[in-house]
Each structure stands twice: as structure tokens, then as C-alpha cells.
Amino acid sequence: MKCDVLIVGAGFAGAVCAERLAAAGKQVLVIDKRNHIGGNAYDCLDKNGVLIHPYGPHIFHTASKRIFEYLSNFTDWRFYEHRVLARVDGEYYPIPINRTTINKLYDLKLDEQGVTEYLESVREPRDRVATSEDVVLSSVGQDLCEKFFRGYTRKQWGLDLSELSAGVAARIPTRSNDDDRYFTDSFQFMPAQGYTAMFEKMLSHPNIEVRLEEDFQAIKSTIERQHTVYTGPIDTYFEYRYGKLPYRSLSFEHEHLGNTEQFQATGTINYPNEQEYTRITEFKHLTGQQHDGTSIVREYPQAEGEPYYPIPRPENEALFKRYNELADATTDVTFVGRLAQYRYYNMDQVVGAALKSVDELIAALKPAEELVS
Ligand code: FAD
Ligand code: UDP
């Protein structure tokens, strides 16, 4: 086998690099060990005909016009703003915490100013915000922390808030107004025909060949190439030379409910303290699909299994840095994506990282005569 660039992984990182390299005239071979493209953003119809996300709910949102416009080359969009309720002591409250959450929880009738003052009175300011516990306590104080954050975080990560870097809990803002959207980015849309259809279009260039159910470890020496783009776990690439990098996994329990127009009021309901799962998502909210039945997924976090989340904490970052030094010294391989860069990236951030890496790669791969002229 021969190609200019071998791309390991057909998720967002791999597909963006493949599309850009193909457009620049390179022959690209994309492999994935799974039997489908799209990585964790893959979607498909379940056996009842409902469009589901087998690897958990994926909601696209970005503040970047450039990233939105780039992806718009491959899909139409459906406007969708995600909303989440958290079930606490048998009641449902908006999360991120907002005015409604505070008023309902404490039986108050505060206006925005009142909520700001309330939060000011309960928050525990920190001189230095290093951990996720610092983030939560310094914004909402002890009671809201225990009700909404500590249990969820323990379930999701198997760690206490105090053992995780600030960035994890900082994903969830606190609001004094009534905004109950999960995200406030200017672009909040779902790909109208789904993610897989978008990936198919990205990978449809004649310079791109896709081979599924191919593991890089098994075939890496059989493919003649100039360069490799690797989007899998970075520690696996280097055969765990410095030991395993911790990743958090999940098990997904999918269920279809026949003759059920709607199962729950919002796209996702979080269960911070009750249940073994963290959340239930009902896909029809996300996709807008009309169907007599409905399909839901419960997410059960676990230590072993497919690596889904890097675990942001200082000792893991230090181990990643050692692997990253090896990556920097491996000049014929580009490492990009959530697993290869060990970053808690959303989809749009992966697209941004891949566009940056592939631009640099295309410049580096230019034949010498082109650079001169
Ligand atoms: P991946 O999608 O993981 O793709 C990597 C691919 O490489 C995989 O297909 C894998 O099979 C393949 N691979 C790995 N090793 C090898 C090998 N040795 N040989 C061959 N192939 C290999 N982001 C959002 O923006 N919004 C959301 O709502 C959202 N929800 C999420 C929910 C869950 C449960 C999870 C886990 C993630 C969520 N994300 C969300 C994040 C999003 O999934 C990622 O940012 C994005 O999909 C990462 O793309 P990637 O290409 O870096 O990695
Ligand atoms: N989180 C929480 N309670 C919630 C929602 C989130 O404690 O109701 C914390 C938890 O640590 C979680 C993190 O905030 O892992 C990030 O949440 P997000 O919904 O962004 O997680 P993802 O969708 O990436 O799994």
C-alpha cells in the first residue's frame, strides 16, 4: 500500500485533516479500527428507525464563525439549543444554576440582583482557583456544590472535585438570570442529516480512500507513506513507554420506548446524586425527528473500556507532557485530536486544532520547487 499521508482515525480530527490534504492534492488513506466513520460523533438509525448517537449525546456548538463556516461546506444545519435539568431530591432544576434554580430550590422570589447578592453571600472566595472544587465553592458555595456538583463529579470521574483541574467544573457557568440554555455560543446547530452524513461528505474526495476495521498497530509497517496523522491515544502510539495515561470510559445503555412521543421534558436530564448513571438523553429533542416511539441513552461512567475522556489533573498533564516531548521529536507524525493531544476538547475545538495542524503540515509537505517559486 502507498499514499502520501496515512490518517489514523476517522473522527473529527482525522476527517478534517483528510479533507484538507485531499483538497491540497495529496493522496490520503484514512484507517479506523471501528467499522464506521465519525469517531465518537458517529450517528445512525437504531433498529426502530430513530437517529441515535451510539457513543453518547453530541451537541454541536461553537463561538467560532470560521469553524462553523468550514463545516457548513459539508452539511446543512438545524437550529438547536440544548437544555438540561438536574434531578435533585425528586425535583427538576435548570443546570447551569440560574435564577429559576435558586428560587425554586430555596423557595425565594429573587430578581437578578437578588440572585447575584444571594450567590455573593454563599460563595466561598478563593485566593487561588486551582481545582474544580475551588471553582464551584468560589462561585456557588457549599450547599449548591453538594446538591449539583460533588456527587455528579464523583460518579463521572471516580474522583473528588478537589482532585480535578479547574477546567472541568469551569465548563458549567453560574447565572443570575433566567437563561436555561446549556451553552451560550453564537452557533448552536445540529447537522441536519446527522453527523455521519456530514463525515461522508468530508471524506468523499477522490483523493481519499477509507479503510475500516484496520488497526494502526497491525498495519503500520505495511503502508509506504511520507507522513502520518495520528488521532488515537498518544500513550498507545508510544507503546506505553512511560506507563498508561489515564482516560475515563463510559458504558452506554440504549433503550427504545414504543408508542411514546416524548420521554422527558428536555434533551438531557442529569442525576447528580441518585442512580448509577450520570444522565439520560432523549435523542429526538436533539435531532427534531418525528417518530411514534422514542430512544434514550443512559451513561454509566467506568474506569476500564474505550478511552472517552482525558482526565484533567496535574499528574496526568505531567505524564502527557513526557509523551508530547516524544511526539515533538517524531517529525514524520502529526498528533491531533482529543486522545492524541490529551485535551478535554469539544468537537469544534478538535476541528480548530485539526485545521491548524493540517495547515502547518500542508506547508511542510510542499515540494521544494513550489516554495522557491
Ligand atoms: P475520536 O472521535 O475519538 O476519533 C478517533 C478515532 O481514532 C476513533 O474512531 C478510533 O476508533 C480511531 N482509532 C484510535 N486508535 C486507532 C488505531 N490504533 N487504529 C485505527 N483507528 C484508531 N463534543 C461536543 O462538542 N459536544 C458534545 O455534546 C459532546 N458530547 C460528548 C459526549 C460524550 C459521551 C463524549 C465521549 C464526547 C463528547 N464530545 C462532545 C466530544 C467529542 O466526542 C470529541 O471532541 C470529538 O469527537 C473528538 O474527535 P477526535 O477525532 O479527536 O477523536
Ligand atoms: N458537572 C456536575 N454536575 C452537572 C453537570 C456537570 O458536577 O450537573 C461537572 C462534572 O464534573 C462534569 C463537568 O461538570 O464532568 C463537565 O460537564 P459537561 O456536561 O460539560 O460534561 P460532558 O458533556 O463533557 O460529559
Over the stretch 39-71, which tens digit does the pLDDT of each residue have?
A: 999 999 999 999 999 999 999 999 999 999 999
At 1 the pLDDT is 85
Residues contacting residue 127 through CB under 8 Å, at least 6 positions apart? none
**Judgement on whether residues 221 and 283 belong to the same structural domain of the protein:** no
Is pLDDT above 90 for 194?
Answer: yes
**Judgement on whether residues 343 and 212 belong to the same structural domain of the protein:** yes
Helix, strand or coil for residue 281? strand
Give the pLDDT mean for 3-13. 98
Ligand 1 centre and the CA of 41: distance in Å? Answer: 6
Is pLDDT above 90 for 372?
Answer: no
Of the residues 260, 279, 302, the one at which a domain ends: 302
Which CATH number does the domain housing residue 221 bear? 3.40.50.720
Question: In which band, very low, low, confident or very high, does the pLDDT at 367 lie, cut at 50, 70 and 90?
Answer: confident
Name every protein residue with a CB atom under 6 angstroms from any ligand 2 atom: 86, 95, 148-149, 152-153, 156, 168-169, 171-172, 270, 272
DSSP β-bridge partners for residue 342: none
Give the pLDDT mean for 73-79. 98
- Cell numbers at residue 90, please? 425528586
Which residue's C-alpha comes closest to atom 8 of ligand 1?
39
Is pLDDT above 70 for 140?
Answer: yes
Ligand 1 centre and the CA of 11: distance in Å? Answer: 6
**Judgement on whether residues 232 and 265 belong to the same structural domain of the protein:** no
Which residue's C-alpha comes closest to atom 31 of ligand 1?
58
Ligand 1 centre and the CA of 132: distance in Å? Answer: 24
Of 373 and 121, the structure prediction assigns the larger pLDDT to: 121
**Judgement on whether residues 145 and 275 belong to the same structural domain of the protein:** no
Residues contacting residue 61 through CB under 8 Å, at least 6 positions apart? 82, 183, 185, 187, 188, 346, 348
Of the residues 302, 325, 341, the one at which a domain ends: 302
DSSP β-bridge partners for residue 310: 247
CB 235 within 8 A of CB 242: yes
Q: Which residues of 189-210 are buried (b: 16+ CB within 10 A; e: fewer)?
A: bbbebbbbbbbbbbbeeebbbb
Of 372 and 112, the structure prediction assigns the larger pLDDT to: 112
**Judgement on whether residues 266 and 362 belong to the same structural domain of the protein:** no
Predicted confidence (pLDDT) per residue in 322-344, tens digit: 999 999 999 999 999 999 999 99
Residue 372 burial (CB count, 10 A): 6
**Judgement on whether residues 137 and 274 belong to the same structural domain of the protein:** no
Give the pLDDT mean for 197-224. 97
Predicted confidence (pLDDT) per residue in 248-257, tens digit: 999 999 999 9
* H or E element at residue 234: helix 234-237
* Number of domains making up the chain: 3
Residue 145 burial (CB count, 10 A): 24
**Judgement on whether residues 156 and 221 belong to the same structural domain of the protein:** no
Give the pLDDT mean for 153-166. 98
Q: What ligand has the least distance to the C-alpha of 306?
A: 1
Residue 38 burial (CB count, 10 A): 28
Give the pLDDT mean for 284-301. 98
CB 31 within 8 A of CB 214: yes
Task: Establish if 73 belongs to a structural domain.
Answer: no
Is pLDDT above 80 for 373?
Answer: no
* Nearest alpha carbon to residue 354 among 14, 8, 4: 14
Q: What ligand has the least distance to the C-alpha of 80?
A: 1
At 371 the pLDDT is 57
At 146 the pLDDT is 98
Give the pLDDT mean for 241-265. 98
Which residue's C-alpha comes closest to atom 14 of ligand 1?
232
Is pLDDT above 90 for 366?
Answer: no
The share of the chain scoring above pLDDT 90, in percent, equals 98
Task: Establish if 43 belongs to a structural domain.
Answer: no
CB 84 within 8 A of CB 266: yes
Is pLDDT above 60 for 216?
Answer: yes
**Judgement on whether residues 157 and 261 belong to the same structural domain of the protein:** no
**Judgement on whether residues 112 and 152 belong to the same structural domain of the protein:** yes
**Judgement on whether residues 226 and 264 belong to the same structural domain of the protein:** no
Which residues form the domain of 225?
5-37+203-246+311-370
Would the CB of 157 count as within 6 Å of ligand 1?
A: no
Give the pLDDT mean for 26-40. 98
At 368 the pLDDT is 58
Residues contacting residue 339 through CB under 8 Å, at least 6 positions apart? 231, 232, 233, 234, 247, 307, 310
Q: What are phi and psi of 5, to 5 degrees?
A: -130, 130
Average pLDDT, the chain: 97
**Judgement on whether residues 124 and 94 belong to the same structural domain of the protein:** yes
**Judgement on whether residues 363 and 223 belong to the same structural domain of the protein:** yes
